[in-house]
Amino acid sequence: MLNDSILISAKDLKKTFTAGNFEVQALKGVDFELREGEFAALVGPSGSGKSTFLNLVGALDSPTSGELRVVGQDVPKLSKEQRADLRLHSLGFVFQAYNLVPVLTAIENVEFVLELQGVKAERRDRAMEILNELGLADLADRRPSELSGGQQQRVAVARAVVSRPKLVLADEPTANLDGTNAESLMDMMLGLRNKNGMTFLFATHDQRMMNRAERVVTLEDGVIRGDHKQ
Ligand code: ADP
Ligand code: MG
């Protein structure tokens, strides 16, 4: 039976990369479920498969085998266009390296998502609304080069959530931030979950982020070794 509150369901999910004439089994059979409203950390040593898993969930890459449903969609069966649609309308992404468009101001970076979605009216207002909500209004007209790393990442979160996605995926979002900025990014993400019911799954090495998570899922060598609520 389908259950709307399950946003991610992976069964025996595998991903093998072929590099030259050798293979890397990045995921060796992952079973995982994430429910609406969860605030979960994906942890594990470098090379354990965290980014690979997030990329599959984000429909940025395709599994080698196994089942994967994300926000009700059967990801391996989707066409390229349908995958793009899933990313654009149901998912938000935050990356380690912020990835803001350098020639656009903060508000233009946020508006850009709405433009891609074909939203015509009120783009500026909606972008300003989320910047306001996240306390970033005074940064609206600055370009990324005029922002600190912490500020860039906060703008990147605004961009990720402006279209109110159900599920936000973040790959080591605090890896380049100092302690204060990392804490404030966590506060921002937790606030979005608490206020808007958005669901978060973030990969991290950062002990402080792990401590703030409500669930910690540990990947090791391509399999889930631990899964604890805290
Ligand atoms: P993590 O994010 O936990 O550090 P990754 O998911 O990036 O781990 O990597 C898991 C394994 O898959 C590693 O051995 C890595 O070298 C390998 N890998 C990841 N992406 C590729 C790729 N595009 N081509 C070949 N090997 C890859
Ligand atoms: Mg990684």
Q: Per DSSP, what are the bridge partners of residue 199? A: 167
Q: Minimum-distance ligand to the CA of 26?
A: 1
Residue 1 confidence (pLDDT): 44
Q: Give the CA distances from residue 147 to residues 74, 79, 98, 127, 189, in Å, rounded to whole numbers and listed in that order.
A: 39, 38, 11, 18, 19
Residue 3 confidence (pLDDT): 60
pLDDT tens digits along 91-101: 999 999 999 99
d(CA 118, CA 132): 23
CA of 197 to the centre of ligand 2 (A): 26
CA of 199 to the centre of ligand 2 (A): 20
Residue 206 confidence (pLDDT): 87
d(CA 227, CA 141): 42
Residue closest via CA to ligand 1's atom 21 equals 17
* Per-residue buried b or exposed e for 112-149, using 16+ beta carbons within 10 Å of the residue's own CB: bbbeeeeeeeebeebbbebbebbebeebbebebeebee
- Please choose, from the candidates 8, 57, 54, the residue with its C-alpha nearest in 3D space to the C-alpha of residue 171: 54
Q: Confirm or reject: Cβ of 161 under 6 Å from ligand 1.
A: no
Over residues 166-177, mean pLDDT: 96
Of 13, 28, 30, 52, the residue with max ligand 1 atoms within 8 A of its CB, to mutate for a pocket test, comes to 52
Residue closest via CA to ligand 1's atom 14 equals 47
Task: Return mean pLDDT, the chain.
Answer: 95
Q: Give the CA distances from residue 36 to residues 6, 63, 147, 204, in Å, rounded to whole numbers and listed in that order.
A: 6, 23, 33, 20
CA of 210 to the centre of ligand 2 (A): 15
Q: Confirm or reject: Cβ of 222 under 6 Å from ligand 1.
A: no
Q: How far is CA 170 from the centre of its chain?
A: 3
Residue 149 has pLDDT above 80, yes or no: yes
Of 24, 57, 218, 220, the residue with max ligand 1 atoms within 8 A of its CB, to mutate for a pocket test, comes to 24
Supply the pTM of this predicted model.
0.95
Over residues 206-215, mean pLDDT: 92
Q: Answer left, alpha or beta for residue 12, where phi above 0 means left and psi between -120 and 50 means alpha.
A: left
Residue 4 confidence (pLDDT): 67
Q: Confirm or reject: Cβ of 45 under 6 Å from ligand 1.
A: no
What is the percentage of the chain residues whose pLDDT exceeds 90? 92
Q: Confirm or reject: Cβ of 55 under 6 Å from ligand 1.
A: no
Q: Which atom of ligand 1 is nearest to the CA of 18?
A: 25
| β-pairing verdict for 199-203 and 215-220 | unpaired
Residue closest via CA to ligand 1's atom 6 equals 49
Residue 2 has pLDDT above 60, yes or no: no
Residue 208 confidence (pLDDT): 87
Count of alpha carbons within 13 angstroms of residue 207, beta-carbon side: 0
d(CA 179, CA 189): 15
What is the percentage of the chain residues whose pLDDT exceeds 70? 98
Q: Which atom of ligand 1 is nearest to the CA of 54?
A: 6
d(CA 73, CA 60): 14
pLDDT tens digits along 153-170: 999 999 999 999 999 999
Residue 121 confidence (pLDDT): 86
pLDDT tens digits along 188-208: 999 999 999 999 999 998 888
| β-pairing verdict for 65-70 and 167-171 | unpaired
* Per-residue buried b or exposed e for 12-30, using 16+ beta carbons within 10 Å of the residue's own CB: ebbbeeeeeeeeeebbeeb
Q: Per DSSP, what are the bridge partners of residue 91? A: 167
Q: Answer left, alpha or beta for residue 66, where phi above 0 means left and psi between -120 and 50 means alpha.
A: left
